[in-house]
């Protein structure tokens, strides 16, 4: 695949993903408003808690999905249909086993549900609610394995279109359920039906796009390929373990030590931060297959230049979003739900630091995984998870909710922020990582200075009114981006990004202009 094809597929994946994410983002806020008004904070807390419990159970996936997608890049590029079929067959078999295991472990947790929730909530049908969460999780493993070939083939926009279309319909139905019936159980049934239908439709689409899969049911993966997959799985699992512990343990600790109501309050901020994270991360996720193809076919210097470009883009996007979240998050929640739903700026600051540090790993993670650098970081996620749990449990005793998120931030800083780029540079690019660290620090200082200046100006207009809020939005959009443009526009990386966007828009404009001429 040539450079133009990679760029074309990447832009198509990004455009489709981001467009749908914005629609889903708006609907998520509408749905959350109806949820709180219809069911209240306790149910919102239960929703967050059970989601995290099932997230912990997703550890059973062991990283097999990422390992097989990585193994698919080469056979897909070479159109090796027998090898592709063999890998998909292995994926299907493993996921059926995982679904059974998750169902068994999930059911065994039921007797302990009351001990996880600190206060007495007296929520009716709590076990049925939990079982609906479990059912949704189990069904998510069935047929979803077929998505891997679409991702490896750089056609993730196909999944995005179907998945987000069904997601929009699901959210609209859930809003209707909340308005008419005010039933949390019906709300969850719609969620489970969405998971089943979405996976079935995408499975049928894969069968049509890749008909050879029907005739390759008996193909088996060679022992050599299996060994490679299992080796990569070990490292991928440890990363998944950290991610799950990081995101899954917070609500469980808050529920156990502080209370389920706080889980509901934090859930609103996690919705906002998570939605922004999802939109921006979608851009980088859409590049995965193209970067995998780049690393497989291009030389090291070309790969490093693209990495440097994405690293600046990474800072630009997550730095800009961090500033917006810091200044606008609390005022928005106050206007949206009321002043009682605001949190202290200390808690908000730590939440945003976690968001920024996680986001700044995107470029490093993308290139590390597509280069196959897995086993070198085998123990880092385990160490990070242990630090996170110990610090969070200790700090929550003294700092409350703030301590939980502070423990998460410290554990990430001491592990991934330092060691993931180190191993990428050592084993991938075979050069010193010191310039990267210095750039990371300089980016952070630039973020602090830009955020401080933007905050000072916005404080002149933020007065708990929508007019002041919208003026602050305009300032947050303009000022950081002007500063970043002035500082970066002379760099080769900025010029490279600009040329790609300019060429894409030119081709898009030309095609639309041509269509108009033909129609006339």
The residues, ordered by sequence, that sit 6+ positions from 353 with a Cβ below 8 Å of its Cβ are 409
SS3 state of residue 142: coil
Q: Report how far residue 278's alpha carbon sits from residue 259's, in angstroms, rounded to the nearest whole number.
A: 27
Dihedral (Cα; 268, 274, 279, 281), 10-degree rounding: 170
3-state secondary structure of 219: coil
For the entire predicted model, the pTM comes to 0.77
Residue 244 vs residues 125, 249, 301, 348, 380: alpha-carbon distances, Å = 27, 8, 34, 21, 14
Q: What is the pLDDT of residues 335-387, one digit of tens each?
A: 988 888 899 999 999 999 999 999 999 889 888 877 878 777 778 888 888 89
d(CA 471, CA 458): 8
Which of 243, 232, 227 shows the shortest CA–CA distance to 369? 232
Residue 143's region, left for phi above 0, alpha for psi from -120 to 50, else beta, is left
pLDDT tens digits for range 3-33: 555 555 555 656 665 666 677 778 888 999 9
Give tens-digit pLDDT for 302-347: 888 888 888 998 999 999 999 999 999 999 999 988 888 899 999 9
Predicted pLDDT at 516: 44
Q: How far apart are alpha carbons 118 and 120 in whole angstroms?
A: 7
CA–CA distance, 353 with 434 (Å, rounded to integer): 22
Tell me: pLDDT of 56 over 80: no
pLDDT score for 165: 86
Q: Which residues contact 89 (CB under 8 A, 6 or more apart)?
A: 216, 217, 219, 220, 221
Q: What average pLDDT does the segment 195-202 reach?
A: 90
What is the number of other CB atoms lying within 10 angstroms of the CB of residue 80? 14
Cβ of 93: how many Cβ atoms within 10 Å?
Answer: 11
Q: 31-47: per-residue pLDDT in tens?
A: 999 999 999 888 999 99
In terms of phi and psi (left: phi > 0; alpha: psi -120 to 50; beta: otherwise), the region of 396 is alpha
Return the SS3 of 286: coil
Q: 64-78, 86-100, 450-464, 486-500: lowest mean pLDDT where? A: 64-78
Q: CB-hemisphere CA count at 13 Å for 396?
A: 22
Mean pLDDT of the chain: 84
Q: How far apart are alpha carbons 469 and 333 in whole angstroms?
A: 11
Half-sphere exposure of 491 (CA within 13 A, CB side): 16
DSSP 67-132: HHHHHHHHHHHTT-HHHHHHHHHHHHHHHHHHHHHHHHHHHHTGGGHHHHSSS----TTHHHHHHH
Question: Would you say 278 and 317 are in contact if contact means Cβ atoms under 8 Å apart?
Answer: no
61 pLDDT band, cuts 50/70/90, is low
**pLDDT tens digits, 476-491:** 999 999 999 999 988 8
What are 408-442's pLDDT values in tens digits? 999 999 999 999 999 999 988 889 999 999 999 99
For residue range 149-187, list pLDDT tens digits in order.
888 887 777 777 888 888 889 999 999 999 999 999 999
């Amino acid at each position: 695949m040539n450079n133009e094809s990679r760029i074309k597929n990447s832009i198509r994946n990004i455009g489709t993903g981001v467009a749908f994410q914005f629609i889903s983002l708006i609907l998520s806020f509408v749905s959350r408003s109806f949820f709180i008004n219809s069911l209240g904070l306790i149910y919102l807390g239960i929703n967050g808690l059970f989601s995290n419990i099932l997230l912990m159970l997703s550890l059973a996936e062991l990283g097999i999905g990422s390992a097989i997608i990585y193994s698919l890049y080469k056979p897909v590029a070479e159109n090796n249909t027998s090898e592709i079929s063999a890998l998909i067959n292995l994926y299907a078999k493993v996921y059926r086993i995982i679904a059974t295991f998750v169902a068994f472990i999930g059911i065994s947790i039921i007797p302990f549900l009351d001990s996880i929730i600190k206060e007495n909530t007296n929520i009716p049908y709590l076990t049925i609610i939990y079982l609906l969460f479990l059912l949704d999780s189990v069904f998510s493993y069935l047929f979803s394995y077929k998505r891997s070939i679409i991702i490896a083939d750089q056609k993730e926009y196909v999944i995005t279109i179907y998945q987000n279309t069904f997601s929009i319909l699901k959210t609209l139905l859930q809003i209707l359920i909340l308005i008419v019936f005010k039933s949390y159980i019906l709300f969850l049934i719609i969620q489970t039906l969405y998971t089943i239908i979405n996976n079935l439709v995408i499975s049928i689409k894969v069968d049509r796009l890749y008909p050879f899969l029907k005739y390759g049911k008996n193909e088996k993966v060679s022992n050599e390929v299996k060994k490679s997959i299992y080796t990569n799985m070990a490292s991928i699992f440890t990363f998944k373990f950290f991610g799950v512990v990081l995101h899954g343990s917070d609500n469980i600790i808050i529920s156990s030590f502080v209370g389920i109501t706080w889980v509901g309050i934090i859930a609103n901020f996690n919705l906002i931060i998570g939605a922004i994270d999802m939109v921006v991360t979608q851009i980088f996720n859409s590049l995965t297959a193209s970067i995998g193809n780049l690393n497989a076919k291009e030389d090291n210097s070309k790969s490093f230049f693209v990495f440097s470009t994405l690293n600046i883009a990474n800072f630009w996007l997550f730095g800009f979003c961090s500033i917006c979240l810091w200044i606008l998050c609390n005022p928005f929640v106050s206007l949206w739900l009321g002043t009682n739903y605001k949190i202290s700026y200390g808690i908000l600051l730590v939440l945003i630091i976690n968001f920024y540090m996680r986001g700044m790993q995107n470029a490093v993670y993308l290139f590390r995984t597509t280069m196959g650098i897995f086993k070198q970081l085998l123990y880092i996620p385990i160490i990070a998870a242990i630090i996170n749990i110990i610090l969070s449990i200790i700090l929550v005793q003294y700092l409350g909710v703030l301590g939980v998120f502070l423990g998460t931030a410290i554990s990430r800083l001491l592990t991934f922020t330092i060691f993931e780029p180190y191993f990428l540079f050592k084993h991938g690019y075979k050069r010193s990582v010191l310039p990267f660290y210095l750039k990371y620090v300089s980016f952070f200082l630039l973020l602090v200075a830009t955020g401080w200046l933007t905050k000072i100006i916005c404080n002149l207009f933020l007065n708990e009114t929508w007019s002041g809020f919208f003026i602050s939005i305009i300032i947050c959009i303009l000022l950081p981006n002007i500063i970043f443009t002035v500082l970066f526009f002379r760099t080769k990386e900025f010029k490279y990004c600009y040329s790609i966007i300019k060429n894409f828009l030119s081709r898009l404009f030309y095609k639309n202009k041509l269509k108009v001429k033909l129609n006339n």
